[in-house]
Amino acid sequence: MSPALSVVLCIVLLVILMIVGGLLTWVERRLLGLWQDRYGPNRAGPFGVFQIFADILKLLTKEDWIPEFADKPVFVLAPAIMLVAVVAPFAVIVFAPGILITDLNIGLLFFLAMSSMTVYGVALAGWASNNKYALIGGIRAVAQMISYEVFMGLSLMGVVIIAGTFSLGEIVERQQSVWYFAYQPVGLIIFLIAGLAETRRLPFDLPEADSEIVAGFHTEYSGMKFAVFFLSEYVGMTLISALIVVLFFGGWMGPFLPPILWFVVKTAVLIAFFILVRAALPRYRYDQLMELGWKGLLPLTLLNLLATGAVVLAIGK
C-alpha cells in the first residue's frame, strides 16, 4: 500500500470513528430506554436522533475552562493522550480482505501496548486537576486498569497458541473452519470482563463513580476537553468489540453478506451487549472489583492457558 493511500485511509478511519462515537451516545440512550422500559431521547427529530447534534452544540458552546489551580499543560495533554491511545490500535484491525491500514506481524502486541497507554491519560487528568475527587478517580483508574491489563493480555494467549501468530489478519484467516470462541470460551469471557474494566464501563466505572467522587478524574473538565474523554470511552468500547470479533468470531467471515458488512454487524452486536451490561448490572464495590480480578480471573486465566498449551502439545500442532 502506498504512503498516500495509507494517509487517506487513516483520515477516513478517524472520521468514521468520530461519527461512530457520536452516534453511540444516541444509540446507548435509546437502547437503555428500551431495556429499562422508559423513554430514551424522543423529542429532537425522529426517534430523537437530532439529540446528537444538540449535544455537540452544547459542548461546542460551553466555556472551555481550565482551573487556576490545575497544572495547565498536563491538564490539556491528558484528554489527547486518551484519544490517541484508543484510536491508534485501529491501525492494525483487519476489517475485511484488503480493508486495513497495516497488518503488522505483531498486531496483537501493538494493541496491548497502545491500550495500556490509556491509563496515563486518566492518571494525568486526575493528578493535573489538583482536585481531591479527581485524584481519587485517577488512583482508582491506575489500580483498576493496570490490574485488568494483566488478565486481558493473558486471556488472549490461548488464541495466539492456537493460531501460532500475533498477526490479526492471519488469526482471522485461520478461523475459516471453526471460530475461536469454540476453542477459547473461557478466554472470551475473561477478555469481555477485562474489556469492561479497561473501558471503565458499568459495572466497573469506579474511576468516575458520580455517586461517590462527583465524576472522578474528569471532574474539572468541561467543553471540548470533556467531550474528548466522553468520545474516548465510546471509541474504546468499539475497539474492544472489534477486537473480540477479530479474535473470537471470525472477523469478516460469514455467508451471503459482504465481508465488511459481516464485520460491522458482529461489532454492533457486541457493542449492544456492552450497553445491555450497563442496563442490567449494578456497580461493584472497589474491593469486589480487585477480588474478582486477582482471586478469580487470574487463576482462571492461568488454568485456561495451561490447558490450551497442554491440548496443543497433545495433538502435536
**Whole-number pLDDT of residue 188:** 94
pLDDT in tens, 41-95: 888 878 888 888 888 888 888 877 888 888 888 888 988 898 899 999 998 998 8
pLDDT in tens, 146-172: 889 888 999 999 999 999 899 998 999
Within 10 angstroms of residue 69's Cβ, the number of other Cβ atoms is 10
- Contact between residue 247 and residue 156 where contact means Cβ atoms under 8 Å apart: yes
Q: Which residue's entry shows cell 481519587?
A: 136
**Whole-number pLDDT of residue 211:** 67
Percent of the chain at pLDDT > 90 equals: 26
Return the C-alpha cell found at 182.
Answer: 469454540
Query: Which pTM value belongs to this model?
Result: 0.92
The domain spans of the chain are: 69-314
Q: Is 197 exposed, middle or buried (0-12, 13-18, 19+ CB in 10 A)?
A: buried
- Contact between residue 48 and residue 30 where contact means Cβ atoms under 8 Å apart: yes
Sequential DSSP letters for 226-247: HHHHHHHHHHHHHHHHHHHHHH
Pure H helices in 164-280:
168-173, 185-198, 210-213, 223-248, 259-280
Q: What is the mean pLDDT of residues 106-117?
A: 88
Return the C-alpha cell found at 260.
Answer: 465488511
pLDDT score of 275 more than 70 = yes
- Contact between residue 137 and residue 208 where contact means Cβ atoms under 8 Å apart: yes
With bands split at pLDDT 50, 70 and 90, how would you rate the model's confidence at 1? low
Indicate the average pLDDT of the chain: 87
